[in-house]
Amino acid sequence: MDAERIALYEDIEQARNSKVLVYFTGDRRGLETKMASEVLDLFVHHLDTIKVVDKISLILYTRGGETLSAWSLANLLRTFCDELEIIIPAKCHSAGTLLCLGADNLVMTKQATLGPIDPSVTTPLNPQLPGGEPAARVPVSVEDVTAFLEQAREALGHEPIAQIFESLTQEVHPLVLGHTYRIRSQIRMLGRRLLSNHMDRQEDIEKILDFLCSESGSHDYTVYRREARELLGLPIETPSWEFYYLIKELYDNIAEDLELTTPFEVNSVLGSQDRASYTFRRALIESVSGGSHIYVSEGEVVRQRVEVQPGFIGDAIGDQRQFEGWRFHEA
């Protein structure tokens, strides 16, 4: 972790009178990462160095990930502090938004966005992706299944719903449909319990969950801070201009480090060479006292000339991945 970033963390800690933790999952095209349960032990390391404190500020950037990892992380953070706030410099979607529901305060920049928490189910029993690899599967959206059945019921009435459901099972395995129902119930239960940490009115909690789970219309809907505050009633804080530029400076530093705006292209790695090594930094968890955990992919890209069909020679590019995982760097 470079000295400039440490100084930014210390400035934010002073401004917020808190201890800072940072969690970025990269969305660099072709090298995306997501929130996962494997990070819980890494967070324990950082929290043990921070110790139990009055307030923790989690700076979070993510496009989503595992639902239960968000739930577990929210509860883990709360065991180490009396007050949990989450600072959102830009994107914080899906499972990231679910995690935010457990915070006492959300600091959102003007470009920060939350998103729906309606998950998708991906299992080996999902429908095969047309034209994809044999193991590629189509994610089944929990809310899409519900919307299809509701639309059919509205259009045709209750009488033929059994036949409609039977036709759906011809396209989607019954166990996958059962899984979507369980997940739909679970996501609302988790959201309800997280919001109950800092909200008392049940009708306010259900209003937030109704919108984030179904009424937003699609999983890529974005919620900016005005809507989050005025329509949903979430505890949103607008940062001062001085603090905004501090958050943005930190975001720019990490975005450059993870190359978030540079799509991954194999040819750009190879250039004119036939063989080239690479190291990509794809996610990070950091704190001043706990150092830096970086999710890294390392390997070698190789271009070979092969006969792709009789009489025709073409390029075949192989990715020889040699390491992929978290690496630790002390503070």
* Residue 72 binned pLDDT confidence (cut-offs 50, 70, 90): very high
| Model confidence pLDDT, tens digit, residues 210-246 | 888 877 666 678 999 999 999 899 999 999 999 999 9
Mean pLDDT value across residues 58-79: 95
| Model confidence pLDDT, tens digit, residues 277-307 | 999 999 999 999 999 999 999 999 888 777 6
Cα distance between residue 150 and residue 158, in whole Å: 10
Query: What residue spans of 161-295 are helical by DSSP H?
Result: 161-171, 174-195, 202-210, 225-230, 241-258, 266-270
Cα distance between residue 109 and residue 93, in whole Å: 15
- Report whether pLDDT(11) > 80: yes
User: Cβ(301)–Cβ(276) under 8 Å?
Assistant: yes
pLDDT at 203: 92
pTM for this structure?
Answer: 0.86
- Report whether pLDDT(260) > 70: yes
**Which residues fall within 8 angstroms of residue 230, CB to CB, at 6 or more apart?**
none
* Residue 74 binned pLDDT confidence (cut-offs 50, 70, 90): very high
Instruction: Please give the share of the chain, as a percent, with pLDDT higher than 70.
Output: 79
User: Cβ(274)–Cβ(303) under 8 Å?
Assistant: yes
Mean pLDDT value across residues 304-327: 79
Q: What is the mean pLDDT of the chain?
A: 86
Handedness of CA 64, 55, 255, 297 (dihedral sign): negative
3-state SS class at 149: helix
- Please give the radius of gyration of the chain, using alpha carbons only, rounded to the nearest integer: 22
- Report whether pLDDT(159) > 90: no
* Residue 117 binned pLDDT confidence (cut-offs 50, 70, 90): confident
Domains of the chain, by residue range, sit at: 3-115+222-329, 121-181
pLDDT at 185: 80
Cα distance between residue 247 and residue 40, in whole Å: 25
Cα distance between residue 147 and residue 143, in whole Å: 6
The CATH architecture of the domain made up of 3-115+222-329 is Alpha-Beta Complex (3.90)
* Residue 98 binned pLDDT confidence (cut-offs 50, 70, 90): very high
Q: Which residues pair with 223 in a beta bridge?
A: 114
Instruction: Please give the share of the chain, as a percent, with pLDDT higher than 90.
Output: 58
Cα distance between residue 328 and residue 331, in whole Å: 10
Q: Report the run of H or E that residue 55 belongs to, with start and end.
A: strand 53-61
Say what angle helices 142-156 and 174-195 make with each other, to 10 degrees: 110
